[in-house]
Amino acid sequence: MLQIARELNMKRVPSAFQIRYGGCKGMIAKDPTIRGDKLITRTSMEKFESTHEGIEVMNYSKPCKTMKLFKPYILECSNLLR
């Protein structure tokens, strides 16, 4: 993840990337249980066979700019605490 962010000259490392890699496409995220730089894909990400080895970043996670609180949900949560 860090290598991808550096290659794209990003100031921060996003928590997830939407990628295309060879014949695979989907979302990738850092797994803290895996050491080193490994890209592990699920079979559901495999769309077709390809010898292409470059990673294409289609999109990435970004911080939320605005957030609204859903009042009925907050009231329900506060009722549960009583």
pLDDT in tens, 57-66: 999 999 888 8
Q: What are the two backbone dihedrals, phi and then psi, of residue 66, each rounded to the nearest 5 degrees?
A: -130, 155
To the nearest whole percent, how much of the chain has pLDDT over 90?
45
Dist. CA 5–CA 76, nearest whole Å = 40
Residues near 46 by Cβ (< 8 Å), separated by ≥ 6?
A: 23, 24
Structure-model confidence comparison of residues 20 and 82, the more confident one: 20
The pTM assigned to this predicted structure is 0.70
All structural domains of the chain with their residue ranges: 2-81
Averaged over 37-51, what is the pLDDT? 90
**What's the pLDDT score for residue 60?**
94
**What's the pLDDT score for residue 20?**
94
